[in-house]
Amino acid sequence: MELFNLFIKSVFVDNMIFAYFLGMCSYLAVSKTVKTSAGLGLAVTFVLVVTVPINYLVNKYLLAPGALAWMSPKLASLDLSFLTYILFIAIIAAIVQILEMIIETFTPSLYSALGIFLPLIAVNCAILGCSLFMQERGFGNVGEAAVFGLGSGLGWLLAIVGIAAIREKLRYSKIPKGLQGVGISFIITGLMGIAFMAFMGIKL
């Protein structure tokens, strides 16, 4: 139940886009058609589910204050948390690279669907942001971290598919000249965010 609660919360309440604005750049750039945005959304979800638990383990056994105690008691007083950023981003970049190779070898059809988006994801702030939130909130075990990654990814997918669908329709609407394109996307995202605020405070 606890896990399910966390999942629902990370999809709707703490939505990566509407509550924290993470991954906005690719969200605005790629959301022109539903098909490509669903592809990017899936890729983000996939990478989040893999990287958040791995970064959780790295944080727990390498970076947190006193985390190195399992190696030898002498290291128990060591605090490496200042290395968080560089280690997390290196792990994310490496995993994205490895995933790309694995997908290319074993499922070429998935690769051609996600292909161009995968390398972009290494510098998507939603991925690094999710790992940093995971570190800040101090989850109890790997399972919680994985569920958090899955929920955040699905929330991001939901948001980008939603805006893409609206933008496809918008092509036929009359919009003031200066607002066309990026401007209106910002305002619509804001309105969607207000709608999503209705989920605030949900507890299962």
Note the residues at the interface with other proteins (CB under 8 A): 18-25, 28-29, 82-86, 88-90, 93, 119, 122-125, 127-129, 132-133, 136, 170-171, 175-187, 189-194, 197
Least distance to other proteins from the beta carbon of 2, Å?
23
Least distance to other proteins from the beta carbon of 176, Å?
7
Residue type, 175: I
Least distance to other proteins from the beta carbon of 153, Å?
16
Least distance to other proteins from the beta carbon of 68, Å?
19
Q: Considering beta carbons, is residue 106 or 172 the nearer one to other proteins? A: 172
Q: Considering beta carbons, is residue 108 or 190 the nearer one to other proteins? A: 190
Q: Considering beta carbons, is residue 35 or 107 the nearer one to other proteins? A: 35
Q: Where are the alpha helices (DSSP H) in 61-181?
A: 84-106, 108-114, 117-121, 125-137, 142-170
- Residues in CB range of 120: below 8 A, 6 or more apart: 26, 40
Q: Considering beta carbons, is residue 28 or 38 the nearer one to other proteins? A: 28
Q: How far is CA 49 from CA 56, 81, 111, 146, 151, in A?
A: 11, 23, 18, 6, 9
Beta strands in 158-204 (DSSP E): none
Say if CB 30 and CB 160 are below 8 A apart: yes
Q: Considering beta carbons, is residue 50 or 192 the nearer one to other proteins? A: 192
Q: Which two tokens stand for residue 83?
A: 């290395």
Least distance to other proteins from the beta carbon of 119, Å?
8
